[in-house]
């Protein structure tokens, strides 16, 4: 069952009111992306950034979503059997996912991931997407995603996927 929303937190689109400079998750690449690139990617329609906030300013966590495609041949046979036989299939990329160090270990990561998956599922009703794809930054991230059903792609051990049908089961 998906995590319940924390009472004082909400997820919203990244805006100019959010304190990007005050965010630190302990991974320089993720911190720098939020500070320097996220807003630009949004303006250029490369990705959309969602932030978790309790006060509309401080960022407790964030994630990005964008369109993606997967080679059908890169997926396990058990998944391929349920998909159309096109060379590429549409997917949703959960490109970046980070929690501020001051909020890590408090269950907010699960809430933020469920928000990303629910948005992906809702968008897939209007713009086709067969799976959610993530690139796990390290073994800890990989373990986190595995707890929610993500599986490694055989050709890229840090790239993981969750079929949209499985995502739908999380919210049924």
Q: Is the C-alpha dihedral spanning 9, 7, 144, 168 positive or negative?
A: negative
Confidence of residue 3 (pLDDT cuts 50, 70, 90): low
115 or 73: which leads in pLDDT? 115
CATH of 10-170, one of 3.30.930.10, 3.40.630.30, 3.40.1550.10, 3.40.50.300: 3.40.630.30
Q: Which residues are catalytic?
A: 145
What confidence score (pLDDT) does residue 96 get?
96
| 172 has pLDDT over 90 | no
Do 109 and 147 contact (CB within 8 A), yes or no?
no
CA-nearest of 51, 39, 63 to 117 is 63
Q: Which residues contact 142 (CB under 8 A, 6 or more apart)?
A: 136, 152, 158, 160
CA-nearest of 103, 77, 95, 82 to 168 is 82
**How much is the average pLDDT of 26-55?**
96
Q: Which residues contact 86 (CB under 8 A, 6 or more apart)?
A: 72
Domain ranges of the chain: 10-170
| 9 has pLDDT over 60 | yes
| 83 has pLDDT over 90 | no
What confidence score (pLDDT) does residue 5 get?
54
Q: What's the mean pLDDT when you consider all of the chain? A: 92
What confidence score (pLDDT) does residue 6 get?
62
* Whole-number Å distance between alpha carbons of 34 and 28: 10
Confidence of residue 7 (pLDDT cuts 50, 70, 90): low
């Amino acid at each position: 069952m998906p995590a319940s929303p924390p009472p004082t937190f909400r997820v919203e689109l990244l805006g100019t009111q959010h304190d990007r400079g005050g965010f630190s998750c302990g991974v320089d690449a993720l911190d720098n992306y939020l500070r320097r690139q996220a807003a630009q990617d949004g303006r250029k329609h490369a990705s959309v950034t969602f932030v978790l906030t309790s006060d509309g300013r401080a960022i407790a966590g964030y994630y990005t979503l964008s369109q993606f495609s997967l080679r059908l041949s890169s997926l396990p046979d058990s998944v391929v059997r349920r998909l159309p036989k096109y060379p590429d299939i549409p997917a949703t990329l959960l490109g970046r996912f980070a929690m501020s160090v001051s909020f890590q270990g408090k269950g907010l990561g699960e809430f933020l991931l469920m928000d990303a998956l629910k948005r992906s599922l809702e968008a897939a009703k209007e713009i086709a997407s067969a799976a959610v794809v993530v690139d796990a930054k390290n073994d800890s991230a990989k373990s986190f995603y595995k707890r929610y059903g993500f599986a490694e792609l055989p050709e890229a051990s840090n790239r993981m996927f969750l079929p949209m049908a499985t995502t739908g089961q999380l919210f049924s």
